[in-house]
Amino acid sequence: MDDIRSRAIRIYDAFTHEHRDRRALLREMAALAGSVAAAETLIAGIAASPAAAQQVPENDDRLVASMQSFTAEGINTHYYHAQSKDPDGALPVVMVIHENRGLNAHIKDVCRRLALAGFIADAPDFLSPAGGTPADEDKARDLIGQLDMAATVATGVRALKVFAAMRNTNHRIGVVGFCWGGAMANRLAIAAGKGLDAGVAYYGPAPDPAEAARVQAPLLLHYAGNDTRVNATGEPWVAALKAAGKSVEAFTYPGVEHAFNNDTSAERYNAAAAGLAWDRTIAFFHKQLDSPA
């Protein structure tokens, strides 16, 4: 069964990251599982159900959380904002970057978790230029694939500046991204220069190692042991960062799958690895961001 599960996850990852046809996905899964019904059960267990594992309620009375927007250089960007209702002084900011499904309920929940950990959390919807994240995650993935990457990175750099400059912050800002967002976190570490104070990437495909010298912020990078697709890019990226004298910590969690942190996906989520990676992330952000700029 473990072999079928692992092969099913590989097939699903190819679908989500290589933009394959859903009918082809069902056909391959049915061949693996033995029937269409069994294939649909496999797919349901792997695919994310964003509301399924909410850890912090939307109406948690300890927090202030809502959708907001900012306009910079003539471009309007929607974002989700979460922070403590009664902050103890000015707080650092963590910008949260969504997966290739867009700004969904799971990423908003991650923002609320960060807010309870002592940060102001802001998650831009990078599909704002396309009208915002749609409810259909397949459509969201298609729209993500159509984004102009240079323009998207520029939006991320603008967002970092806007969020860090807001009142009630200590003007220090970090970024954390997952999957597509992990790749974006690395790209922003290159593009933002000193405009970023700390970066965390969860299993994000890495940039060209030749770009490592441009990174200014300390980085914490999380990789899944079974994620050969991403790890093939991550290992040379980490080596290049170290060779360039950059501050980087990288952890690979043995035996876990891509998206192991996403607790809305029953087949991918690994509670032990997710908990350890989260504790490391929170400690890293407090170390790098708590002191005022």
Q: What is the pLDDT of residues 223-257, one digit of tens each?
A: 999 999 999 999 999 999 999 999 999 999 999 99
Catalytic residue among 109, 122, 125, 227: 227
Geometric angle at alpha carbon 80, from 75 and 82, rounded to 5° = 135
Average pLDDT, the chain: 89
- Which residue in this structure is represented by tokens 């770009």? 211
Asked about 179 being catalytic, the answer comes back as yes
What are the tokens at 83? 């922070």
CA distance 247 to 231: 19
Asked about 258 being catalytic, the answer comes back as yes
Given pLDDT bands bounded at 50, 70 and 90, which one contains residue 1?
very low
The confidence score (pLDDT) of residue 55 equals 86
Q: For residues 15, 18, 22 and 26, what is the CA-based torsion angle, rounded to 10 degrees?
A: -40
CA distance 226 to 8: 13
The confidence score (pLDDT) of residue 292 equals 81
Number of CB atoms found within 10 A of residue 47's CB: 18
CA distance 211 to 199: 15
Catalytic residue among 109, 179, 197, 222: 179
The confidence score (pLDDT) of residue 171 equals 96
Interval 210-222 mean pLDDT: 98
Task: Dump strand ranges (E) for the chain.
Answer: 63-72, 75-84, 91-97, 120-124, 169-178, 198-202, 219-224, 248-253
- Residue, of 266 and 199, whose pLDDT is higher: 199
Side-chain-side CA neighbours of 57 within 13 Å: the count stands at: 4
DSSP class of residue 235 equals H
Nearest-CA neighbor of 204 among 56, 97, 113?
97
**Is there a contact between 282 and 222 (Cβ–Cβ < 8 Å)?**
no
Highest mean pLDDT among 16-25, 47-56, 249-258: 249-258
The confidence score (pLDDT) of residue 88 equals 84
Q: What is the pLDDT of residues 36-45, one digit of tens each?
A: 666 666 666 5
The confidence score (pLDDT) of residue 74 equals 86
Interval 50-60 mean pLDDT: 76
CA distance 263 to 252: 18
Please compute Rg for the chain using Cα positions: 19
The model's pTM is 0.84
- Which residue in this structure is represented by tokens 């509670």? 271
Nearest-CA neighbor of 70 among 168, 164, 167, 162?
162
Is the pLDDT score of 203 beyond 80?
yes
**Is there a contact between 67 and 80 (Cβ–Cβ < 8 Å)?**
yes
Least confident of 15-29, 138-152, 253-267: 15-29
